[in-house]
Structure 1
Amino acid sequence: MNTIKIITSTTREGRKGIAIANWITDLAKQNNRYNIELLDLAQINLPFMDEPNHPRLKQYHYEHTKKWSETINTADAFIIVLAEYNFGFPAPIKNAIDYLYNEWMNKPVAFVSYGGVSGGLRATQMLKQVVSAVHMMPVTDQVNIPFFAKLIDDNGVFQPGEPIIKSAEAMLKGLESWSEALKTMRNK
């Protein structure tokens, strides 16, 4: 059974994306074909990259990096719940990726992006370059949620329509396929 880690991209107080992260986590858990873990960067609270050595060396000095390394290393695949800030991705997700190198390699990543009119597409396209640099495989199927705030109810629960749900189901299937296909490379 594949382990999928779902990573939030924002840490600010009052953020709305956690509702989307909770939704995709619940949807993925319904499948019973994956081990699912939500990694909330606000709770993980990584400082700005402070390791003295290049991540490729895996000579981590700080406990927060060692713990982050262990958390990421046990994943087979990832979903990044990605906000769009000023036509780009939020700094916390870039920081979280930059801490590590080998732990990301040969693992697929899918995106559930959200924002205004673009639904986070610009941020996704930019972050695909970053994840490719650490040898992750961005999957083709993704979920884009424009005007996402309109889909969060008074209780803070994300209420997607059928097209978003179908898109997420297709994304999960693609992520599983890529995870299986890359397993041989991860096990070298």
Structure 2
Amino acid sequence: MTTETPYNLAVVIGSVREGRFAPVVANWFLDRAKQREDVNLSVIDLAESPDGLSSGVAAADAVVVIVPEYNHSYPGPFKTALDNTGSEWHGKPVAFVSYGGISGGLRAVEHLRPVFAELHAMTIRETVSFPYAWNNFGSDGEHLDADGADLAATTQLNQLGWWAHALRDARQARPYSA
């Protein structure tokens, strides 16, 4: 249990495809994040509110991006959304929850890291990834390897929380300047 003020965590759902698997992965992750006392949670679903990215990220202390891998990279509409933002990301930590085929979306994540570096955001190391995600979640939306998946999410959220507090405190003490 922490005595620190909870941090504002925005979860961005980066897929807009019709029939997308993103809601299953996002709901699974959100269920884990909601159990934490150190987080004030908000959701930005680009399929439902593409214009909400800027204000949602601006209000956040940290961001988790739920991203699929399409054609060995991340979705084009997500890149367009990122290209329409800027200073909202400055000095903020970003974590990834990825899914896809054999690589579990990790190729998309590796393509996103330099994009976020250009946005002056700090990506954290711990990534939650789901290879063949559609085969690894039950009809109830729960991951079939609950222990391993839950441990990955907990580890990521612990690390993200450290960065969220450290960078929030730093931005308050000395505003970030690009």
**TM-score, structure 1 normalization:** 0.84
State the secondary structure of the residue aligned to 1:43.
Answer: coil
- Structure 1 position 68, deviation (Å): 4.0
- Structure-1 residue corresponding to 2:86: 101
State the secondary structure of the residue aligned to 1:4.
Answer: strand
Please give the per-residue CA displacement for 1:9-42, whole angstroms capped at 9, x wherever unaligned.
1111110111111111110010121001111110
**TM-score, structure 2 normalization:** 0.88
Corresponding position: 1:38 with 2:23:
no
Corresponding position: 1:151 with 2:136:
yes
- Structure-2 residue corresponding to 1:178: 163
- Structure-1 residue corresponding to 2:70: 85
Q: Extract unaligned runs of 5+ from structure 2.
A: 1-5
- Structure-2 residue corresponding to 1:134: 119
Flag the 1:32–1:160 CA change in 2: closer, same or farther, 3 A. Answer: farther
Task: Return the alpha-carbon distance in structure 2 between the equivalents of residues 95 and 158 of structure 1.
Answer: 31
- The answer to whether the 8 A contact 1:112-1:144 is kept is yes
Flag the 1:160–1:175 CA change in 2: closer, same or farther, 3 A. Answer: farther
Task: Return the alpha-carbon distance in structure 2 between the equivalents of residues 71 and 28 of structure 1.
Answer: 17
Corresponding position: 1:125 with 2:125:
no
Corresponding position: 1:167 with 2:167:
no
Q: 2:10 aligns with which of 5, 12, 23?
A: 5
- The answer to whether the 8 A contact 1:21-1:38 is kept is no
Flag the 1:146–1:68 CA change in 2: closer, same or farther, 3 A. Answer: closer
Corresponding position: 1:21 with 2:26:
yes
Cα RMSD over matched residues?
1.4
State the secondary structure of the residue aligned to 2:15.
Answer: coil
Task: Return the alpha-carbon distance in structure 1 between the equivalents of residues 68 and 118 of structure 2.
Answer: 20
State the secondary structure of the residue aligned to 2:129.
Answer: strand
- The answer to whether the 8 A contact 2:57-2:89 is kept is yes
Partner AA of 1:17 in structure 2:
A
- Structure-2 residue corresponding to 1:57: none
Question: What percentage of residue pairs aligned between the two structures are identical?
Answer: 35
- Structure 1 position 152, deviation (Å): 2.8
- The answer to whether the 8 A contact 2:66-2:97 is kept is yes
- Structure 1 position 160, deviation (Å): 4.4
Q: Extract unaligned runs of 5+ from structure 1.
A: 47-63
State the secondary structure of the residue aligned to 2:66.
Answer: strand
